[in-house]
Amino acid sequence: MKHLNKNFSLFVIAILANIVISAQSTLYMPRDIQKSYDIGVRSYDGKPGKNYWQNSSDYKIKAELFPGQSILKGEEVITYYNNSPDTLKSMVIRLYGDIYKKGATKDWYVGTADMTNGVELDYLIIGKDTIKLDGSNAYRGSTNLFARLTNALPPDSQTEVKTKWTIEIPDTFQLRMGNYGDNDFFIAYWYPQIAVYDDIAGWDRIDYTGMAEFYNDFNNYTIEITVPDNLVIWGVGNLQNPEKVFSQTIIDKINQAKQTDETVRIITQQDYKNNDVTLKNGKNVWKFSATKVTDFSFAVSDNFTWDAASVEVDKSTGRRVLTSAVYLDSTIHWENAAQYARATIKYLSEELPGVPYPYPHTTTFCNKKRGGGMETPMMANDGAPKDKGSLIGLIFHEISHSYFPFYMGTNERKYGWMDEGWATFFPGVVVDSLVPGYDYYRDLIRGYEYFAGKELELPMMIPTFGLPIQSSGTASYSRPGTAYMELQKLLGNDLFKKALQKYIDLWHEKHPIPYDFFFTFNDVAGKDLSWFWNPWFYDMGYPDLAVKEIEKTKKGYTAIISKVGTMPTAVKVTFTFADSSKQNVSKTPLVWKDVDIFHATVKSNKKLIKVELGSPYIPDANKKNNTKEY
């Protein structure tokens, strides 16, 4: 019996191995990515490999904001840990502010009002190497500085990077951050940052040009920011010295908000009038600390209302998360923004992905513009849409980035769909529950259908930084959001959620790439889903089902449905009879695994009038072939 069990176990292992091999062989994989799997950094079952590694840094930054001049000055000491097996003979430093230099490559027109000299470096020292900023041992590209190291950094070692700099905060064309007037700032991408060195490409040398976003290591931050004492700062991580910057009135209300589901008006306009917000020291130094986060940003104002509530995200520990909204008091719909943020955190923690929100707070800052938003860890820089549903969707979208790409350290520069697609997919249930009749997913499908199959609609696996700006919206947002909807239908809610949670469990605080996502879902599903991954993520094409023929049978009718397009989608066939009654046949995308024809059959002795295909929640780029009269 033991021998039989052993043989059976070997048989099961062989079957599972075949699944893994199938996953390996049926998806195209570039050579540089293959190498990472071959040497055991990543594995074909979706797990981090036995040789997985990633680098990280500790940032200690002291900065001062001069709001009247819209200038920030700072100095930092970075401890960089080379956990790779490679000896590093160079280092790439990101200087995001250089996007405002004359001649820097940009995806968007920004005019000339904010053109600057970029990031002005006083000095840069890496280990024992003083980097000569005249270019003799460093090259400064569009937004990256490439430094050659005389003293190479061996594996499993660390070095210090020291620098001092000045940047101007844009106040006319704000790309993702800026000075929004009246002492209202959202500051991001503001400090010299070490680029990611990874197992796929080595140093990330891709410039920041405005459209493709970011790819960062998981770092620890100790931050001190000096501002005039009338200003309030909201930042990533935890404020370490509230008693040094806030009045006791504000501290008491913060503590109250951390314990209640109800909105607390932490800073009101009356508090400003009463001069009872910040301590008056001439200048205040705000100290923040954050661990294992991918970036640090902060918001500043001397007039914004601050509302906050909190929500329990982990019933086993009782851990609560503070949900804050800071905004100009007159901004439409924002009086409820803290509760919209709270509903977002609750849904993400309990429903999908169903993983407790991993950070202590989320703060949504209103930049007073009409729309659009930008995420950073625990922070979001959002506009103010007039439409309530759009505002709730925007708040939810940016907060959901806390999971992708901040908890899951994906490379947005190459694979924008790995975070934007999820942030597009998640919000629907909450938006529709708070705005009856909104129908978020119907609108998502419509947006995708409009572009699907057109000349500039390009596959998601084309690196995001290489896409035309006209193509990136579909490739990063609506197409992957729709693909995740179809994947959920394919697997069913329970298995879909199980696979998503497994993916998060394996890859949080790491750097997953698309194959890690595909292979994890394959592993949890117990089958090779390449027939689904290929058309949706790799191929040119679009969804299009058609009613090809209708046949009378002995007991009813059969509609022959043809997959004219390339994308496997769910199927809904509606048979309408002369007495106005209807019968439906519905199938998941699995029906298209090996065939392009599906026979939908119903039993009825009634006279058939017509057959119709489709649903507002099933993408179909060409609806002209969806109806056939009988």
569 close to 524: Cβ distance less than 8 angstroms: no
Q: Is the dihedral of CA 476, 387, 621, 425 positive or negative?
A: positive
Q: Among the listed ranges 17-31, 260-274, 549-563, which one has the minimum average pLDDT value?
A: 17-31
Confidence of residue 246 (pLDDT cuts 50, 70, 90): very high
Q: What is the pLDDT of residue 111?
A: 80
CATH number at residue 558: 2.60.40
Same domain, 350 and 251: yes
For the segment 290-303, the average pLDDT, to the nearest whole number, is 98
Residue 479 CA to residue 502 CA, distance in Å, equals 23
Residue type at 431 in one-letter notation: V
Same domain, 172 and 243: no
User: How many contiguous H segments (helices) and E segments (strands) does the chain have?
Assistant: 15, 31
pTM: 0.95
185 occurs within a structural domain: yes
Strand order in the sheet with 298-301: 178-179, 185-187, 298-301, 232-235
CA-CA distances (angstroms) from residue 344 to 213, 347, 362, 428, 485? 23, 5, 10, 11, 19
Domain closes at, from 211, 246, 261: 211
Kindly state the tokens that stand for 155: 């594996």
Same domain, 315 and 179: no
Q: Does 21 have pLDDT greater than 70?
A: no
528 occurs within a structural domain: no
In tens, the pLDDT along 508-522 reads 999 999 999 999 999
Helices 388-400 & 417-425, crossing angle to 10 degrees?
140
Q: Does 20 have pLDDT greater than 60?
A: no
Q: What is the pLDDT of residue 2?
A: 44
| 270 Cβ contact list (under 8 Å, min separation 6) | none
For residue 614, give its domain range. 545-629
Q: Does 14 have pLDDT greater than 60?
A: no
125 occurs within a structural domain: yes
227 occurs within a structural domain: no
Q: What is the pLDDT of residue 25?
A: 52
Q: Within 10 A of 11 (CB to CB), how many other CB atoms are there?
A: 10
Same domain, 138 and 243: no
Cis link prior to 353 (omega < 30° from 0)?
A: yes
Q: What is the pLDDT of residue 12?
A: 41
Q: Does 167 have pLDDT greater than 50?
A: yes
Select from 91, 205, 211, 59 the least CA-distant residue to 143.
Answer: 205
317 close to 244: Cβ distance less than 8 angstroms: no
| 541 Cβ contact list (under 8 Å, min separation 6) | 453, 535, 565, 566, 567
For the segment 171-182, the average pLDDT, to the nearest whole number, is 94
Same domain, 116 and 242: no
Residue 287 CA to residue 587 CA, distance in Å, equals 56
200 occurs within a structural domain: yes
Same domain, 133 and 243: no
Domain closes at, from 211, 243, 258: 211
Kindly state the tokens that stand for 499: 């696979």
Confidence of residue 412 (pLDDT cuts 50, 70, 90): very high
Same domain, 190 and 311: no
241 close to 297: Cβ distance less than 8 angstroms: no
Same domain, 240 and 132: no
Please give the mean pLDDT across all residues of the chain.
95
The helix/strand/coil state of 162 is: strand
Confidence of residue 195 (pLDDT cuts 50, 70, 90): very high
Q: What is the pLDDT of residue 19?
A: 45
Q: Within 10 A of 360 (CB to CB), how many other CB atoms are there?
A: 15
In tens, the pLDDT along 432-441 reads 999 999 999 9
4 occurs within a structural domain: no
Same domain, 142 and 60: yes
Same domain, 207 and 74: yes
3-state secondary structure 78-132: EEEEECCCCCEEEEEEECHHHHHECCCCCCCCCCCCCCECCCEEEEEEECCEECC
407 occurs within a structural domain: no
Kindly state the tokens that stand for 209: 């040009």
* Torsion angles phi and psi, residue 548, rounded to 5: -85, -50
CATH number at residue 365: 3.30.2010.30
In tens, the pLDDT along 90-105 reads 999 999 999 999 889 9
Kindly state the tokens that stand for 130: 């003083």
In tens, the pLDDT along 356-409 reads 999 999 999 999 999 899 999 999 999 999 999 999 999 999 999 999 999 999
Same domain, 64 and 206: yes
CA angle 490, 492, 498 (to 5 degrees): 115
The radius of gyration of the chain's CA atoms, rounded to the nearest angstrom, is 27
Count how many domains the chain has. 3
Residue with tokens 């700006």: 469
Residue 129 CA to residue 127 CA, distance in Å, equals 6
466: which DSSP letter? G
Same domain, 300 and 365: yes
3-state secondary structure 514-552: HHHHHHHHHHHHCCCCHHHHHHHHHCCCCCCEEEEEEEE
445 occurs within a structural domain: no
Domain closes at, from 324, 359, 382: 382
For the segment 499-528, the average pLDDT, to the nearest whole number, is 98
